[in-house]
Amino acid sequence: MRLIFSLMAFLSALPCHAQKANVWNHKQCAVVLTYDDAIDADLDNALPVLDSLGLKATFYLIGSSPVVANRMELWRKAALHGHELGNHSLFHPCDGSLPGRSFVQADYDLSKYTVNRAVAEIRINNTLLQAIDGKTKRTFAYPCGDLTIKDSFFYAGLRNDFVAARGVRSALDSIEKVNLDNIDCFGINGQTAEQMIALVQKAMSTHTLLVFLFHGVGGGHALNVGLKEHSLLLHFLKDHEREIWIAPMVEVAEYINTYRILP
């Protein structure tokens, strides 16, 4: 009798395990590649290798960046090829009152903003991005990972404007635990391909969401990853597409929303 009960318990656990293992669009895990700040390296270094492999990513654009104004047609082309143009605010305001924030310009010190100003500027950037790509659904990324103005969580006034928002905390989350108001990610700065691939393998074994946060790729930013290291990571992802779902943040966030709504 004990053997029968043990066998029944084992068999009943199998469907649950299979569902967990394939919950990410029938894949073992999900990986989102995000690139911040709208810099030339996005278009010159990251985009060509992504397109050569048929991988889709999210580029978080600062509306006031000259790289948006001067290379708008290339951003439009990227969107037409399936990449997401995400919102990284109009002026990239950060909280200058925090330690290590001497780089924050006085005009764009988030600690001096009102919530209304922050919300208005982010919505203006949405209008700009819609003029570029014609889309009304996208995600947001917090500049510097700052969530609040004094004690106010300013994104609360923007939930209806976005599918989700990406933060900067490093963690791998199951589909049930992803916080769509502050999606976790791993900031990359000098890591080797082996280190980044190890993160992917960890996500595969734990059936979780892995979001990469890149700035410079092969230069162009103080936070940087080498061209070769970046390319090796992307080739690993391409080689394992049967096990890994690679998609822009907006698609993954919409999928999570649908997963939670369905019985």
| pLDDT score for 263 | 67
CA–CA dist 190, 230 (Å, integer): 10
Q: 9-39, pLDDT tens digit by residue?
A: 433 433 343 447 789 999 999 999 999 999 9
Q: DSSP assignment, residue 45? A: I
Q: 51-81, pLDDT tens digit by residue?
A: 999 999 999 999 999 999 999 999 999 999 9
**Which of 18-27, 149-158, 209-218 is predicted with the least confidence, judged by mean pLDDT?**
18-27
**Number of residues that make up the chain:** 263
Q: Tell me how far CA of residue 228 lies from CA of 63, 191, 193, 234, in angstroms.
A: 29, 11, 8, 10
